[in-house]
Amino acid sequence: MAREFTRVGVVGLGTMGAGIVEVFARNGLDVTAVEISEAALERGRVTLTGSTDRAVAKGKLAEAERDALLARVDFRVGLDALHDVDLVIEAVPEHLDLKQRIFAELDRVCKPEAILATNTSSLSVTEISVATSRPNQVIGIHFFNPAPVMKLVEVVRTVVTSADVVADVEALCERLGKVDVTISDRAGFIANALLFGYLNHAVGMFEARYATREDIDAAMKLGCGLPMGPLALMDLIGLDTAYEILDTMYRRGGRDRRHAPAPLLKQMVTAGLLGRKSGRGFYTYERPGSPKVVPDEYTPLAADAALADGARAIAKVGVVGSGTMATGIIEVFAKAGYEVISVTRGAEKSAKVCESVKTSLNKGVVRGKLSETDRDAALGRITWSATLDHLADVDLVVEAVIEELSVKKALFASLDEICKPGVVLATTTSSLPVIDVAMATQRPADVIGLHFFNPAPIMPLVEIVQTIRTSAETSATARAVCAKLGKTGVVCGDRSGFIVNALLFPYLNDAVRMLEASYSTADDIDYAMKLGCGYPMGPFELLDVVGLDVSLAIQRELYLELREPGFAPAPLLEHLVTAGYLGRKSGRGFRDHTRR
């Protein structure tokens, strides 16, 4: 017969524990909430009341419900208070010896039939379980941060966890309104195994001054639709916790260098910069525990200040190319008030691009996003040409031709001959080194990457790629142009994948490896990332949309440039591409799209 859970215990009321108490109490369970000292108990109480008060203020919880919720929680110091609970979940810091000590103690204190659960993110549940005399009643219940908000729970069963314990915990998760995925005991489970390599890579980028914290975070939010950037997420998780998780994953997960914590993390933890909980991490917060970021010495100047910073005046813009990106970019510039000269390889192509721009602008009118007058004015600003010579007097050229280095280099050599001095020459390449293109001209200081995202009229992000020869003036001009286009321009160095692809594709590749290793299913991995981390799409959904061939090509580039063994394309990805399973565009990728 299934167990009845009436009273549960939570040990440790930090970032996770306080949220877990809230989840239980909100769903009608009585909770014994335990901390190590009166001071820590008080902190936990303050976190819980703060969170429930915010829920009331937002209209998500009635005052009476909040009062009932708080009345269900019994705050206590010391594990002895847990003698009558049906299940206890431990959420103390991520140290194996500490957790083992607590489990040995829980085994002594709790009823013989009680389930003992850990919220560990990376430690072995099996190793924790052997500290008790009832390893078959020990299980992982891994909540996500913030626990009251995130829908996912990873239920981790060890080789000795009883089937009835797993079933009862799954039923409990359902009662809590959570979606659970049940998996075996492996470092990082699903979500963290895919998340932490990415987070650590982002810290490495920041540490190497490849881009600013604001730009790294904006790139991932705006380029991938993630709810938070990686550095803001690190602050939310807690840098001490993140360090321990990475360190354990490195040691337990085959010593993948990508999980070796970035040196900066250790320094920050040592210096007491733990993230939101200490009031300062990658960002500075109003006070410890507050989610509100306040300006500090690293906060960049407002965009207006950057404009004054040596940017050249741009009025006339040439766009070279006739594909999807060129078409979108022409529209973006024309709508923002620039005079645009579109150059294609023939009148027929120009007519096609013109038609596409008109169709897109008309859609804007139908959707009420653009007036007819503005549409006509935007169209009136575009000149159609099939001759590069017409770019002699433009102020900026944006190249968006085929992704082949020889073609781009030849084009830039021609632009160098045709364009007047002082023109900014930009390439939209997503994978080629911008410096190669720049060196095809006699003016590499004026060359920069402007990496727009598809569809350009909609996606708010542009990566501004500076080579080691790009001048400050060129960079300032690019930033000013992006601001005028209404886009967020993030500045980064000239490395394979820039910010977004360099952080995104290895994660997708890791998901393929996880599937290949049969650790979980494509559906559960997609759920884990969507419901555990708030991603708009799971990795397999995204791979099928992007195209497996495109993803493989990007991953190969990253691997070739950075020589990071962990970036080697997953064999399964290569096999699917060889088999012609390219994703939605071919009807089949990780999923069959012909039957949907």
Ligand X SMILES: NC(=O)c1ccc[n+]([C@@H]2O[C@H](COP(=O)([O-])OP(=O)(O)OC[C@H]3O[C@@H](n4cnc5c(N)ncnc54)[C@H](O)[C@@H]3O)[C@@H](O)[C@H]2O)c1
**Options 36, 354, 445, 553; binder of ligand X; rule CB under 6 A:** 36
CB of 137 to ligand X, least distance (A): 19
d(CA 203, CA 199): 6
Q: How far is the CB of 136 from ligand X (least distance, A)?
A: 22
Q: Which is nearer to ligand X, 507 or 559 (CB)?
A: 507
Which one, 14 or 497, has the nearer CB to ligand X? 14
> Which of 119, 124, 129, 192 is an active site residue?
192
Q: Are 169 and 136 in contact (CB under 8 A)?
A: no
Q: Does 14 bind ligand X (CB under 6 A)?
A: yes
Interaction pattern, residues 214-253, with ligand X; x per rule: CB under 6 A: -----------------------xx--x---x--------
Query: Does 96 participate in binding ligand X (rule CB under 6 A)?
Result: no
Q: What is the DSSP string of 289-303?
A: T---EE--TTPPPPH
CA distance 591 to 571: 17
Taking alpha carbons only, the member of 358, 303, 307 closest to residue 334 is 358
> Shortest approach of ligand X to residue 19 CB, angstroms?
8
**What burial letters (b/e) apply to 218-240, b meaning 16+ CB within 10 Å?**
bbbbbbbebeebbbbbbbbbbbb
> Quick check: 35 binds ligand X (CB under 6 A)?
yes
Among 33, 48, 85, 91, binds ligand X (CB under 6 A): 91
Between CA 500 and CA 211 the distance in angstroms is 11
472 C-beta neighbours (distance < 10 Å), count: 12
Is the Cβ of residue 73 or residue 434 nearer to ligand X in the bound state?
A: 73
Q: Measured from the CB atom, is 18 or 311 closer to ligand X?
A: 18
- Which residues are CB-neighbours of 436 under 8 A, at least 6 positions away? 405, 409
Within positions 123 to 142, which residues make up the interface with ligand X, using CB under 6 A?
A: 142
Q: CB atoms < 10 A from the CB of 252, how many?
A: 17
Closest approach of Cβ 522 to ligand X, in Å? Answer: 23
Residue 92 contacts ligand X per CB under 6 A: yes
Query: Which residue stretch of 5-13, 150-158, 473-481, 495-503 sits at the interface with ligand X (rule: CB under 6 A)?
Result: 5-13
Q: Which of these segments, 29-37, 443-451, 476-484, 569-577, binds ligand X (CB under 6 A)?
A: 29-37
- Nearest-5° Cα angle at 59, 53 to 61: 60
Binding window for ligand X (CB under 6 A); candidates: 11-19, 63-71, 152-160, 350-358: 11-19
User: Backbone phi, then psi, for 188, in 5-degree steps?
Assistant: 85, -5
451 is an active site residue: no
Would you count residue 399 as binding ligand X (CB under 6 A)? no
Closest among 485, 442, 443 to 464, alpha carbons compared? 485
Residue in the block written with tokens 């993803």: 551
Tell me which DSSP letter residue 532 carries: I
Q: Which is nearer to ligand X, 91 or 202 (CB)?
A: 91
- Contacting residue, 8, 10, 13, 181, with ligand X by CB under 6 A: 13
**Residues 22, 119, 142, 322: which is the catalytic one?**
142
Residues in 273-302 at the binding interface with ligand X, rule: CB under 6 A: 277
Nearer to ligand X, 17 or 589 (CB): 17
Residue 454 a catalytic site member: no
Whether 200 is catalytic? no
| Catalytic entry in 121, 122, 124, 145 | 121
Please give the single-letter amino acid code of residue 329.
I
Q: Of the candidates 8, 9, 10, 11, which one interacts with ligand X according to CB under 6 A?
A: 11
Q: Count residues contacting ligand X (CB under 6 A)?
A: 28
CB of 177 to ligand X, least distance (A): 18
- Which residue from 63, 68, 83, 93 is in contact with ligand X, where contact means CB under 6 A? 93
By beta-carbon proximity to ligand X, the closer residue of 97 and 297 is: 97
Cα separation, 510 vs 194, whole angstroms: 6
- CB closer to ligand X, 121 vs 520: 121
Q: Is 116 in the site for ligand X (CB under 6 A)?
A: no
Among 51, 52, 121, 467, binds ligand X (CB under 6 A): 121
Distance CA 212, CA 556 (A): 26
Q: What are 587-595's contacts with CB under 8 Å, separation 24+?
A: 589/540, 589/543, 589/544, 589/547, 589/548, 590/515, 590/522, 590/540, 590/543, 590/544, 590/548, 591/522, 591/540, 591/544, 593/544
Q: How far is the CB of 125 from ligand X (least distance, A)?
A: 11
142 as an active site residue: the answer is yes
Q: Which of 23, 34, 239, 273 binds ligand X (CB under 6 A)?
A: 34
* DSSP H or E run through 461: strand 461-466
- Taking the C-alpha atoms of residue 511 and residue 303, their distance in angstroms, rounded to an integer, is 37
Q: Which residue among the candidates 22, 90, 154, 214 is catalytic per the annotation?
A: 154
Place of tokens 């598809």: 454
Binding of ligand X by 102 (CB under 6 A): yes
- Cα–Cα distance measured from residue 198 to residue 502, given in angstroms and rounded to the nearest whole number: 9
Beta bridge partners of 87: 8, 115
- How many whole angstroms separate alpha carbon 474 and alpha carbon 425? 9
Supply the minimum distance, in Å, between the C-beta of residue 253 and ligand X.
15
Q: Under the rule (CB under 6 A), what is the footprint of ligand X? A: 11-17, 34-36, 40, 91-94, 102, 119-121, 142-145, 237-238, 241, 245, 277
**Active-site residue set:** 121, 142, 154, 192
